[in-house]
Amino acid sequence: MALMMAAFGIMVGIIGFALFSTLPSGNSLENNDVIGTLSLGGSLKDLSAGPEVKIAGEGIRGTVRTESSRDFQVIHCELESDSPAEVVITFDPAKSGFVAAKNDQTRGTSILARDGEVRLTGEKGIRSMVLLSAPSGVGVPLHVSVKRGGIPVIERELVVGGGSPG
């Protein structure tokens, strides 16, 4: 009898939470305002500059620059473009992991992160920062691909952190 009452109590709690919850509806972050604080378990102190890729071509210019600390890799993407631009950063999910991304909130820009890939797109450019985790002292290989209007502009392999040259 006590077990049945406990099960009933849990069921009522779940139904009550579902009916009266104030969580935002919808499955896309683009449909909701999300505000919060990210608590990192590692150190972002003492960032050191890493490899940088200069991008210059017809209708597009900017940089993809990197920094690293003991536990994290930071990728800064700053592009100006006269047509839609895209930066795709791929990495080995066994060696690194996506932690966070910050967009400059320019209209028409978006961030898509999935296992081993971060895709940044913008209608007239991109100003975003990507934070990846990395094992302490280990260089993280990245593949950076930049496209303008769907046409490849540059592809580059970089090794960020771990004292490795890019």
Q: What is the pLDDT of residues 118-157, one digit of tens each?
A: 999 998 889 999 999 887 667 889 999 999 988 999 999 9
Position 101 in a domain: yes
Number of domains in the chain: 1
Cβ atoms of 158 and 50 within 8 Å: the answer is yes
pLDDT for position 4: 64
Q: Does some domain include residue 15?
A: no
Q: Which residues are CB-neighbours of 61 under 8 A, at least 6 positions away?
A: 55, 79, 80
What pLDDT score does 15 carry? Answer: 60
Residue 21 lies in a domain: no
Q: What is the pLDDT of residue 139?
A: 81
Q: Is 10 part of any domain?
A: no
Can you give the pTM of this predicted structure?
0.71
CATH number for the domain spanning 97: value is: 2.60.40.740
Residue 30 pLDDT: 47
What's the pLDDT score for residue 163?
A: 52
DSSP state of 5: H
Domain of 138 in residue numbering reads as: 48-160
- Per-residue model confidence (pLDDT) at position 84: 92
Residue 16, domain member (yes or no) = no
Q: Where are the beta strands (DSSP E) in the chain?
A: 48-57, 60-68, 72-81, 85-91, 97-103, 109-114, 117-122, 125-133, 140-148, 151-160
Residues of the chain with pLDDT under 70: 2-45, 105-107, 136-137, 162-166
With respect to residue 42, please indicate whether it lies within any of the assigned structural domains. Answer: no
